[in-house]
Amino acid sequence: MNIKEFKARFIDLKNKGYVESLRRGPTGIGKTLESYLGIIENNLDLPDLDNVELKAHRDNSTNMITLFTFNRGAWILNPLEAVKKYGTKDKNGRLGLYFTMSFQANSAGLFLYCDNETVSIRHIDGTIIVRWKFLDLEEQFDRKIPALILVKAKVEYRNNKEWFYFYSAELLKGTTSSIIAEQIKNGTLLIDLRLHDKGTMARNHGTGFRTYEKYLPNFFKTKEVIV
């Protein structure tokens, strides 16, 4: 399906008004949209349409999305050493670094720091834990989401079931290192450390770069209203 075909199918769907969700729960909106557009559902990390990802968003939703994960070449301090030195215990007594970072030092003394070219996680003792170049983050974002069709839907509840009115679709393309930097600095791109002590090594689930769905348009340099 190309963008022209998508537009025609989406207009048909929009003209239907509210349609009943085809699945209960958070994934119902995506399942319903894909079914009406004739897109075969898949759980693979592959583009849905002509190298364009498809994302459905409920109006007023506070859901978050992981844009990408990134660790390659970023760690300045050995991850296991970082966990042992700055980690906190979970309910099972296991040391870990599971934090959503901010520019204010957290309970472990860790905080975000930005300069013109990088963002890093540091400790108040002066240690740099991990550091990313904005250019590398731009490259990772473009690799993960080169373009996105963001579909917005109004929601009604009828007899405890969701009904969706898919009313707009916007094509978003490309990002820049300056956009990435801006979103980190203004707090709309969140950085999550996700690793723990596994004895002889740190088990790293991948540092997550996340945002709220409503902020997705802020990450792209080109925006085009399809419908």
The string of DSSP letters for 47-79 reads -SBTTBEEEEEETT---EEEEEE--TTTBSS-H
Asked whether the beta carbons of 109 and 100 are under 8 A apart, the reply is no
State the average pLDDT over residues 203-220: 97
Match 């979103």 to its residue by tokens. Answer: 183
pLDDT higher than 50, residue 44: no
Given CA atoms 102, 103, 106, 111 in this order, what sign does their dihedral have?
A: positive
Residue appearing with tokens 């902020």: 215
Rounded CA separation 82/2 (Å): 47
Question: In the chain, pLDDT over 70 holds for what percent of residues?
Answer: 96
pLDDT confidence of 43, banded at 50, 70, 90? very low
- What does the pLDDT read at residue 152? 98
pLDDT band for position 40 (cuts 50, 70, 90): confident
- The predicted-structure confidence for 170-186, as pLDDT tens digits, reads as follows 999 999 999 999 999 99
Tens-digit pLDDT profile for residues 50-76:
678 999 999 999 999 999 999 999 999
- Which pLDDT does position 45 carry in this prediction? 52
Pairing of strands 222-225, 95-100: unpaired
Helix axes 3-15, 28-37, angle to 10 degrees: 110
Amino acid at 52: V
* Closest alpha carbon to 49 in 141, 151, 140, 139: 151
Cα separation, 194 vs 203, in Å, equals 8
- pLDDT tens digits, residue range 74-118? 999 999 999 999 999 988 889 999 999 999 999 999 999 999 999
Q: Round the average pLDDT of the chain to a whole number and report it.
A: 94
CB atoms within 10 A of CB 175: 22
Cα–Cα distance, 138 to 69 (Å, whole number): 12
Asked if residues 61 and 152 have their Cβ atoms less than 8 Å apart, the reply is no
Helix (H) or strand (E) holding 36: helix 28-37
